[in-house]
Amino acid sequence: MFRNTNWTLERAVAFCRTLESVSPQFGAHVALTGGTLYRDGERKDVDILVYRIRQFDEIDWDGLFRAWFTVAGVTLENDYGWRKKAKLRDGSDIDFFDAEDSGDFEPVMP
């Protein structure tokens, strides 16, 4: 289904729909963001916000990535907490953003 390593809006939306088909059972929804959504033309990666369903205490990230591998071929490459770098089988780059994780950095306060 996803063969080209560049991302278009149409490809990103179809990909998000595939991920969303299994995400709720692990306490999550997905939302497209970043350059693929906001700019015209192809992009080198896709940015996807992952947010917790309020009725769940937390997202089951392990289960989520296993399910995403099954339905779309997503493999987690690096987990930085708030940003998780992943790839598809064809080498396409994905950045997942965890809306609830602050990551390994201190926020800058004004």
Report residue 93 as tokens.
Answer: 């780059």
pLDDT tens, residue by residue, 53-83: 999 999 999 999 999 999 999 999 999 889 9
pLDDT tens, residue by residue, 13-65: 999 999 999 999 999 999 999 999 999 999 999 999 999 999 999 999 999 99
Is the confidence at residue 1, as pLDDT, over 80?
Answer: no
Residue 104 domain-assigned (yes or no): no
Residue 105 domain-assigned (yes or no): no
Give me the phi and psi of 15, to 5 degrees please.
Answer: -65, -45
Residue 80 domain-assigned (yes or no): yes
CB neighbours of residue 17 within 10 Å: 11
Burial of 64 (0-12, 13-18, 19+ CB in 10 A): buried
Residue 54, domain extent = 9-98
Q: How many whole angstroms separate alpha carbon 31 and alpha carbon 98?
A: 11
Element (H, E) at 102: none
Tell me the sheet residues that pair with 85.
78, 95
Residue 2 domain-assigned (yes or no): no
Report the domain count for the chain: 1
Q: Please report, for the domain that includes residue 79, its CATH number.
A: 3.30.460.10
Residue 106 domain-assigned (yes or no): no
Residue 14 domain-assigned (yes or no): yes
